[in-house]
Amino acid sequence: MSRILSILFFTFSLSLAAKPEPVKEVIISGNDAMQFDIKSFQAKPGESIQLTLNNVGSIPKIAMGHNWVLLKKGADAIAFGQKVLASGGSATNPLPKSLLGDVLAHTKLLGPGESETISFTAPAIAGDYEYVCTFPGHFAMMRGSMEVK
């Protein structure tokens, strides 16, 4: 009898260990007024995040495209936006590859009616992590913060 209980306990323990952590889903929309509808959200250290960016505007991508770029801890969204411009960022290249070292996660540039879903892991270190749209000039208004705690 104790052998059967041991086997059942072992099987139950394995099923608990194999259970994946839940994924936090975040949905953010960008519009023609250069605004994200979500200015901040929270995550736990190491949490799996599935983020969807929707461009709900109607102005063509070449004039009003949107992306979502999560910056490393301590990076300032406005300073990063200025760096993008100084590095040759444009409507067709809103996130120069030379700046990816400051980026934790990002979407591609989206036109009206487009969306993209990305997955990433929240940093292990608690704190505020800024996010921004790097389409030229949007960084002045389209930014927010992910608080890891």
Q: Which of 25, 34, 22, 63 is nearest to 144 (CA)?
A: 34
* CATH code: domain of residue 97: 2.60.40.420
How confident is the model over 33-48, as a mean pLDDT? 98
Statement: residue 5 has pLDDT above 80: no
Is 12 a member of any domain?
A: no
Would 6 be classed as within a structural domain? no
Domain of residue 41 covers 21-148
Distance of CA 71 to the CA centre of its chain: 9
pLDDT at 22: 87
Amino acid at 11: T
Place of tokens 């023609």: 32
User: Which residue did the predictor score with more confidence, 15 or 122?
Assistant: 122
pLDDT band at residue 20 using 50, 70 and 90 as cut-offs:
low
Instruction: Report whether pLDDT(93) > 90.
Output: yes
Query: Looking at the domain assignment, is residue 59 inside a domain?
Result: yes
pLDDT for 19 equals 61
Are residues 98 and 76 in contact, defined by beta-carbon separation less than 8 angstroms?
A: no
Does residue 52 belong to any structural domain of this protein? Answer: yes
CA distances from 98 to 72, 78, 79, 92 (A): 15, 17, 15, 15
Domain membership flag for residue 3? no
CB of 78 within 8 A of CB of 140? yes
How far, in Å, CA of 122 to CA of 70, rounded? Answer: 10
Question: What's the domain count of the chain?
Answer: 1
8 A C-beta contact, residue 88 and residue 96: yes
Tens digits of per-residue pLDDT, 106-119? Answer: 999 999 999 999 99
Alpha-carbon distance of 6 to 44, in angstroms, equals 35
